[in-house]
């Protein structure tokens, strides 16, 4: 039997399906043994009375992504991944975003430079396709997919990002042909622009009107449309950051019919409400994200969706804009219109603790579901499984040892991102990561970061097993 | 008591609610008395054993409408309205269509010239808004609405007609503000264009592929989107020419939730199927219309929808293109692609007989529903009630005396339109209009047309009672 | 032309489809003429600025119905019908209820004796079938149907009334065979009994727990079951007194699928809520009825259902039990359990004014819908049309002249029933019946009753046109 | 490190979440190690190129169950469990069925005697509650639950088994209180009886009419009712043997709303259709089971339900009645009515191979889903996890080594049950169990059974983690 560089002893281990008490043997960064009792390792961790879970895979987060409006993301790959690992996440998949009129391959190159030498945990890239020219569709995408960029996000809103339905169909057709996987930001762009204009005419520009401008119907419509386009092309898609009951209803409708429609939600739709945008002064800007948080009743629908199969994944959608900063939320000052406030909230470090405490500890979801939603499913969805996302022989030893008893009250000062606030300030939690291990290496321990800058490696993604068409009934015509 | 210019004696009269046996007294073109026994009139018609129904209101038909592609509608206002009255229709509402870049008011003027001196029955105009510039929205539309053009059709497909979602919202907002009523042609333009291109690449251009290029999902998506936009603006709309179960499901979903969504269907979705486009040679082109006919199961859903409240109106969508004609279906010859074939089928004369025979006589719908769908509801929907669409004191004496026993087999040679075919050739019917009366004047009788060219009058429409917003919950912001 | 015993001049007349200004000529109790201007009648009423509507048909009301528990209905056919006509209702259809173990024909005979010489307006009988023995199914029911008792109510709850599913199927099968029409009281008996027992064990017996014992799920389940049984037999049914969103959802589901499922609601589900059962002392007992009132959100769903086709009829479900009376609500005193409180509330006189004021005047429903729901549809549903329920040539001159401006605040002292309270005390209304006419005779005028006791006639019902099976797909096996 | 009694080397292992290549170390009947390379074991199996899956848990199967109609199950615990293990199943949960009027505890005692000394694999018991007297509810059930009989099946049909809604509520309330789990056979008894009677009157008694007598609406209704009862009590339930789209729609409706409704299906609803009951002579009786198989379109809905989360478990519902036998299908000869034919089909041995070949190999479900549906989920649902149903440290070494390439054509002669037919005769499969291991012991190998009669042990079940109430909103009143 192999020798072990590290043995984690006596923990309670959970995967997406199982819970067991055993030792974990690690060799050269991989899990090589699970057993009732393992021989001594070079290094040992006693995990008695602790949970050992797969490190989180945050499949939707933004860091150091170039912006068009003069805003700047406060987290680069160093602080972003540092924050991630302190919250129990060991893999991130941020976005290499094509600028309209430019090469997608170039965007990938550029993004690699931003990550290399900085990331402290492993990372893959989703592509954001904003300009699917024939060259991009026929040349760049197939090549990039072959190189391990197998998923892309497309936008139905934001002027600098959005695709027409026609362009969306073209991208979906490439995904179908190449076996790639498409994530859709589903909000109706025209509706939002129209609402924003109407509100502006009425002088309704404070942060709370961000939510007014993006009511659920706007998300529901785009969700139905995305489903319809995917149905026409016969290709699976995933709807990202689903916020409430109306979009959920459309997704369930599709899933019930046997369509391969997947969905993601985020902590902001479980923990925040529209009321958080309606704070004194400009404070509400801290919670401006799209879609906006809804209300308590919708939070319950999202919680239900974590159990009943609507959602396969929960991501942070970490978008690190500082609050009191001219390149952040206050890019137009504290009296500017909500429409110029950078969208998004930080959350890469709080994702797992929030969901663990309110989900697992409160009995809303079980431990296996927690692991599935936060690690195994995202790894499978985006072609990183079995290297990432589980505790299995041969998988990377990306592990988190949880102290399920630890009481923590969230405060921004304890977080490791480069942002000056957290929307979850003051929330009391039970259960928190104690040790984070990346490829067999302890990178975080009892509040102390040990990870060396730049140790994170780029992950080339395989094809997603979720991306398979149904191939049922009349196929779409393929030349 | 008034003297009667005309008394129709002893008929069985039906309105949208009632059936009664009585005499009808007419004076100066209006119905002035309904009674068990009326004094003698100047003129008399014995309607013993006959049905007397309100003349049909065909709220969706095209005649002499300028086209952009070189095609020409074979029916002008003379042959179009002649064909209508021979089929029991006494009011038509065709479309004054704005050309992109041009004035809507000009289009109305032009269209008046086409109608005046030709129409043999009364007519109103819907507007087609294709270019909702601020001038059109803020100046032309309000003025036109005030002048009696209170309804408009908008298109979600066809390059020369379609509106973006944003433009649609603008039009809906004007409708809400002015109390006007919007009809929506709901098909996803990009999906169709994408399918057409794919099919073309595969050489699939014969008429049957018209149906392949416009599957139900394309109609369903646009229907959901139109509903969502109307919900956002809080204004009722009507979805025109609904073809099958998938769009019906969306409409029911909206109606079930209390949204004011109305719907129209047409005989082609009750009597034709996709198979009618798959005929030897180019024959299928005769049945090319959009959305395309579906299948038997979908026909049943449409029949059900006539009973259970999905549909308020059944129109012909008469679009008179000749088959064997270079400005008609064969504009690109008999080997050209389906995509260039003018869309639409003739049916202004067959609408009522088809629905009467298969609907009323076969027991699928009752007589009141027939009247409601074909006359009363369209009159109410488009602000022509109570002048048109019913048999009531004070209403125009637009009446049809039906011989419910008459056996007719549809043949194009018996029809009065200027088109060289009917898609319903050979269908055997029972029940047919025997006498048509317009404003108290017998204009058609036992197969003979008596109407004088140009006798038809333009009808200025009032505001639709169906156009009222719900004004519930959070209102859309109005400057 | 006939002479007129009575001419109502200059009113604004509404039917279920039309609104018109005209005179109404009446001869020998029937409407014989509608005209712009009629010759003088023997008697004349000036209805200038008034509405003239068909007299209401209250298709679900209880009077002088023998009870099993010692309670006594306070209204006999005299006070019951008197109260009805003062509220604008000119036809009632109460229930001849079979006692288990007894003949249904006998119950009808007995009930005739209760009505004769007392009723002041015309009446028909529904049957209540509680014991469908072979004799009842094969002999009594067919004979009674042939004699004009063409509709029956069946109960899914109440120990002395309820049918098993098997018995329900037998009754539905007779209805199908004979063309009769079945009304269903849909609540799950076992669920209620189980809840009542649990509540009793906890000492929860005050009136408010009546609502706790009958949550919506209990009504929803029985509604789904009734629909399923009707679907199996392929026969239309009507669900009576639908109270809220959950039952509505089931009915819409069925209607959407093309099943012939009809529904009735009552003012209590538009004007009362569960909170009305939670009053100091025993007061809540006044609002104990089954199903119980729900909440504001459910009221809105019921209002929507009046517009979008869920409901065909609105009835009072008048059940006249006195409040402060040992044979009424206080049959077990004021500290007894809710389970012994007689179910039902009085409302035969307030039905139309409530719906007119809050429905028509507030713009929730239009005038035609008001007429359809309160008069025309119930007449059609139960085979009384065209004699009753409309204003048409040949129909009985049952008319109500409404003063649409009159302001009334409901107070029990102004009502004519024999009950010591109204649940609608204090509600302010606009619009009230001014004159009620029954078969051409003025029976109520400006607050004064003129009707002679016993003038009301029994109405033999024809077969309902709503009772026709779909006869589609696989038929149920018929011996 | 422990020594290994058995090492399975080099296999491809799958759990409900993971797939990995590794060795499995077994000691004293339990899995004690999973590792890339294990030291030598006392015994070794080379699983190179083979799949190693958890042994199947058949959570719904009948064997040696006493019947009321004179029929006899052909399989006792010996042949039944033998057949199971040859098909890759290592745990069975048959039913200890209370006879009406008798003790449930006695039924359990009796059933133990039938199992002991016969079973060759481990087994637990579900209870069937047919007579929930206060004694049974308050005494027997809590005691039995405490002893490890934590799940019970209740019937909504079959005269000798069915519960009233009231009794069902009582049983559900006990389940809620004790944390036990209820399985429901959902068909409407009265509907079936009524249909059977009608069919009998028409002489329609051949096997095909079994399906006619139990149309989907009968299953749908009972499913909705079961859901409603469970919702009232606020306790999770599982609907067993779901056959088609209509029941699925109800279950999805409940799941979508966040209710804890689970569902099981069986191979007969994936592989058989109604047409299989319509065979020459009496052959159709072979496929008589309840609910009956439906059609191809419904099979697809069931397949979809295996992917999209409707179903948590797939069981055999093995009911071993011989075809050509007077105590089997021919209990009333070959011309008797379908209503006397014992319900059920054999399938304990074919469950896994059918699902593997058509599900996994054809790409309809993935390997993890296969394991979840056939082993892990049933173990979790019924309190046998983690002892059974997975491959994890500490779990029983119940394993199946699959030859994924082996081609097999199902023939009854190759099966090990004591029944004279299989409904799947002639179906060609790819993939079949090669070795079955029970608690570390090879019990079946390359077609040869090695298991010693009586080696199977009774399993005392824990409480199901699926049985937790939602405890949301208004709780049901609990004394
Ligand atoms: Zn996004
Ligand atoms: Zn994002
Ligand atoms: Zn159109
Ligand atoms: Zn058109
Ligand atoms: Zn009732
Ligand atoms: Zn009643
Ligand atoms: Zn069963
Ligand atoms: Zn069974």
Q: Cβ atoms within 10 A of the Cβ of B52, count? A: 24
> Distance between CA C427 and CA A241 in Å, rounded?
48
* CB–CB contact C258 B32 (8 Å): no
Average pLDDT of chain B to the nearest whole number: 96
Whether B474 maps to a domain, the answer reads no
Contact D315, D266 (CB under 8 A): yes
Q: What proportion of chain B, given as a percentage, has pLDDT over 70?
A: 98
The chain B residue lying nearest C366, using CA atoms, is B465
> Distance between CA D142 and CA D164 in Å, rounded?
21
- Three-state secondary-structure class, residue B388: coil
Q: pLDDT of C211-230, one tens digit each? A: 999 999 999 999 999 999 99
Over its length of 479 residues, how does chain C's per-residue pLDDT go in tens digits? 568 999 999 999 999 999 999 999 999 999 999 999 999 999 999 999 999 999 999 999 999 999 999 999 999 999 999 999 999 999 999 999 999 999 999 999 999 999 999 999 999 999 999 999 999 999 999 999 999 999 999 999 999 999 999 999 999 999 999 999 999 999 999 999 999 999 999 999 999 999 999 999 999 999 999 999 999 999 999 999 999 999 999 999 999 999 999 999 999 999 999 999 999 999 999 999 999 999 999 999 999 999 999 999 999 999 999 999 999 999 999 999 999 999 999 999 999 999 999 999 999 999 999 999 999 999 999 999 999 999 999 999 999 999 999 999 999 999 999 999 999 999 999 999 999 999 999 999 999 999 999 999 999 999 998 888 876 655 556 54
Contact A81, A121 (CB under 8 A): yes
> Distance between CA C13 and CA B34 in Å, rounded?
13
Which CATH number fits the domain that encloses residue A414?
Answer: 2.30.40.10
Contact B432, B353 (CB under 8 A): yes
| Closest C-alpha to C234, from C476, C477, C479 | C476
**Rounded (10°) angle between helices A216-233 and A189-201:** 160
**D395 contacts in A (CB within 8 Å)?**
20
Instruction: Tell me what pLDDT residue C479 has.
Output: 47
> Distance between CA D74 and CA D197 in Å, rounded?
29
Q: pLDDT of A344-390, one tens digit each? A: 999 999 999 999 999 999 999 999 999 999 999 999 999 999 999 99
Which ligand ends up closest to the CA of C157?
A: 5
Q: Which residue has the tokens 């003062």?
A: C86
Q: pLDDT of A288-320, one tens digit each? A: 999 999 999 999 999 999 999 999 999 999 999
> Distance between CA D240 and CA D184 in Å, rounded?
6
> Distance between CA C313 and CA C297 in Å, rounded?
21
> Distance between CA C87 and CA C356 in Å, rounded?
11
Contact D384, D54 (CB under 8 A): no
Contact A127, A144 (CB under 8 A): yes
Contact C87, C80 (CB under 8 A): no
Whether D229 maps to a domain, the answer reads yes
**C292 contacts in D (CB within 8 Å)?**
none
* CB–CB contact B393 C21 (8 Å): yes
Report residue A350 as tokens: 């709080």
Contact C346, C289 (CB under 8 A): no
Which of D132, D190, D205, D247 would you mutate first to test chain C, the one with the most C CBs within 10 A? D190
Q: Which residue has the tokens 């269209």?
A: B111
> Distance between CA C370 and CA C386 in Å, rounded?
17
D473: left (phi over 0), alpha (psi -120 to 50) or beta: left
> Distance between CA B266 and CA C154 in Å, rounded?
40
**B190 contacts in A (CB within 8 Å)?**
164-166, 168-169
* CB–CB contact A468 D363 (8 Å): yes
Report residue D383 as tokens: 């309190």
| Closest C-alpha to D97, from D63, D138, D74 | D63
Helix or strand holding residue A143 (H, E): helix A141-146
User: Which residues make Cβ contacts (< 8 Å) with residue B283, sequence separation at least 6?
Assistant: B207
Q: In terms of domains, do A273 and A400 share one?
A: no
- Beta-bridge partner residues of B441: B438
Q: Which long-range contacts (CB under 8 A, 24 or more apart) does C446-452 make?
A: C449/C82, C449/C85, C449/C86, C449/C120, C449/C416, C451/C82, C451/C85, C451/C120, C451/C121, C452/C120
Per-residue pLDDT at B264 exceeds 60 = yes
User: Which residues make Cβ contacts (< 8 Å) with residue C412, sequence separation at least 6?
Assistant: C419, C420, C421, C422, C425
> Which domain does A268 fall in, by range?
56-372
| Closest C-alpha to B292, from B172, B210, B233 | B210
> Distance between CA D130 and CA D136 in Å, rounded?
10
Q: In terms of domains, do A35 and A124 share one?
A: no
Contact D267, D350 (CB under 8 A): yes
End-to-end CA distance of chain C: 54
pLDDT category at A222 given cuts 50, 70, 90 is very high
Instruction: Tell me what pLDDT residue D470 has.
Output: 79
- Three-state secondary-structure class, residue B30: strand
DSSP code string of B65-102? ---SSS---S--HHHHHHHHHHTTEEEE--EEEPPTTS
Burial A391-413 (b: 16+ CB within 10 A, else e): bbbbbbbbbbbbbbeeeeebebe
Which ligand ends up closest to the CA of D291?
A: 7
CA of D344 to the centre of ligand 8 (A): 7
CA dist list (Å): A326 to A72, A329, B225: 9, 7, 38
Which CATH number fits the domain that encloses residue C257?
Answer: 3.20.20.140
| Closest C-alpha to C314, from C393, C369, C272 | C369
**C478 contacts in D (CB within 8 Å)?**
198, 202
Measured in residues, chain A has a length of 479
Q: pLDDT of B170-203, one tens digit each? A: 999 999 999 999 999 999 999 999 999 999 999 9
The chains found to touch A (3+ Cβ pairs under 8 angstroms) are B, D
Measured in residues, chain D has a length of 479
* CB–CB contact D393 A366 (8 Å): no
Partner residue facing C392 (CB), from B2, B18, B25: B18
On the question of a cis peptide bond just before residue C100, with omega within 30 degrees of 0, the verdict is no
> In degrees rounded to 5, what are phi and psi of residue A407?
-95, 130
Partner residue facing C17 (CB), from B17, B256, B465: B17
Whether A224 maps to a domain, the answer reads yes
Instruction: Tell me what pLDDT residue D473 has.
Output: 53
Can chain C be said to touch chain D, i.e. do they have 3 or more Cβ pairs within 8 angstroms? yes
What ipTM is given for this predicted complex? 0.97
Per-residue pLDDT at B315 exceeds 90 = yes
Mean pLDDT of D88-104: 97
CA of D313 to the centre of ligand 7 (A): 15
> Distance between CA C165 and CA C247 in Å, rounded?
18
Largest Cα separation within chain D, whole Å, is 73
Whether C187 maps to a domain, the answer reads yes
* CB–CB contact D257 A304 (8 Å): yes
> Distance between CA D355 and CA D269 in Å, rounded?
11
Instruction: Tell me what pLDDT residue B473 has.
Output: 52
Mean pLDDT of D419-443: 98
Partner residue facing C35 (CB), from B256, B372, B393: B393
> Distance between CA B314 and CA A416 in Å, rounded?
65
User: Which residues make Cβ contacts (< 8 Å) with residue D299, sequence separation at least 6?
Assistant: D269, D270, D271, D273
CA dist list (Å): B467 to B240, B369, B373, C295: 15, 21, 18, 29
Largest Cα separation within chain A, whole Å, is 73
Whether A336 maps to a domain, the answer reads yes
Helix/strand/coil (H/E/C) assignment for every residue in C34-47: EECCCCCCCEEEEC
On the question of a cis peptide bond just before residue C118, with omega within 30 degrees of 0, the verdict is no
Whether D67 maps to a domain, the answer reads yes
| Closest C-alpha to A348, from A120, A187, A156 | A120
CA of C256 to the centre of ligand 4 (A): 26
CA dist list (Å): A87 to A75, A303, A414: 15, 21, 11
Whether D423 maps to a domain, the answer reads no
DSSP code string of C369-400? HHHIIIIIHHHHHTT-TTTSSS--TTSB--EE
CA dist list (Å): C13 to C10, C20, C48, C122: 9, 5, 11, 22
Contact A305, A263 (CB under 8 A): yes
| Closest C-alpha to B207, from B279, B295, B267 | B279
Contact B166, B189 (CB under 8 A): no
B452: left (phi over 0), alpha (psi -120 to 50) or beta: beta
- Beta-bridge partner residues of C12: C21, C51
Q: Which residue has the tokens 């260039």?
A: B340
| Closest C-alpha to D112, from D100, D121, D99, D124 | D124
Per-residue pLDDT at A1 exceeds 60 = no
Whether C190 maps to a domain, the answer reads yes
pLDDT category at D1 given cuts 50, 70, 90 is low
Q: How many domains does chain D have?
A: 1
Contact A238, A263 (CB under 8 A): yes
Contact D443, D417 (CB under 8 A): no
């Amino acid at each position: 039997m192999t020798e072990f560089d590290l043995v984690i002893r006596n923990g309670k281990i959970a995967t997406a399906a199982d819970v067991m008490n055993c030792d974990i043997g690690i060799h050269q960064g991989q899990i090589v043994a699970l057993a009732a009792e393992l021989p001594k390792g070079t290094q040992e961790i006693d995990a008695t009375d602790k949970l050992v879970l797969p490190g989180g895979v945050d499949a939707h987060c933004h860091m150091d992504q170039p912006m068009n409006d003069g805003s700047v993301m406060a987290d680069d790959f160093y602080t972003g991944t540092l924050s991630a690992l302190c919250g129990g996440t060991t893999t991130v998949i941020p976005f290499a975003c094509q600028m309209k009129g430019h090469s997608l391959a170039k965007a990938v190159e550029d993004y690699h430079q931003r990550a290399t030498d900085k990331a402290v945990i492993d990372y893959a890239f989703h592509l954001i396709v904003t300009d699917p020219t024939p060259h991009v569709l026929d040349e760049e995408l197939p090549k990039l997919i072959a190189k391990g960029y197998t998923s892309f996000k497309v936008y139905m809103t934001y002027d600098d990002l959005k695709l027409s339905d026609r362009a969306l169909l073209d991208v979906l057709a490439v995904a179908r042909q190449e076996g790639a996987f498409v994530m859709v930001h589903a909000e109706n762009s025209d509706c939002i622009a129209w609402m924003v204009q109407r509100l502006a005419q009425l002088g309704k520009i404070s942060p709370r009107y961000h939510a007014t401008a993006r009511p659920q119907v706007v998300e529901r419509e785009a969700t139905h449309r995305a489903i319809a386009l995917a149905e026409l092309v016969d290709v699976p898609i995933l709807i990202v950051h689903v916020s409430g009951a109306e979009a959920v209803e459309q997704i369930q409708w599709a899933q019930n019919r046997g369509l391969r429609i997947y969905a993601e939600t985020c902590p902001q739709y479980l923990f925040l409400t529209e009321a958080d945008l309606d704070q004194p002064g400009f404070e509400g800007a801290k919670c401006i994200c799209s879609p906006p948080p809804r209300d308590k009743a919708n939070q319950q629908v999202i919680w239900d969706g974590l159990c009943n199969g609507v959602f396969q994944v929960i991501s942070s959608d970490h978008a690190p804009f500082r609050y009191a900063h001219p390149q952040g939320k206050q890019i137009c000052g504290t009296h500017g219109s909500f429409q110029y406030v950078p969208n998004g909230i930080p959350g890469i470090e709080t994702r797992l603790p929030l969901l663990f405490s309110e989900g697992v500890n409160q009995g809303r979801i079980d431990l296996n579901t927690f692991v599935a939603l936060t690690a195994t499913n995202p790894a499978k969805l985006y072609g990183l499984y079995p290297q990432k996302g589980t505790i299995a022989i041969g998988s990377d030893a990306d592990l988190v040892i949880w102290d399920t008893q630890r009481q923590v009250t969230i405060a921004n000062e304890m977080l490791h991102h480069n942002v000056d606030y957290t929307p979850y300030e003051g929330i009391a939690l039970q259960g928190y990561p104690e040790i984070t291990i990346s490829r067999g290496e302890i990178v975080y321990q009892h509040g102390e970061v040990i990870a060396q800058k730049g140790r994170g490696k780029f992950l080339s993604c395989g094809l997603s097993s979720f991306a398979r068409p149904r191939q049922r009934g009349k196929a779409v015509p393929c030349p």
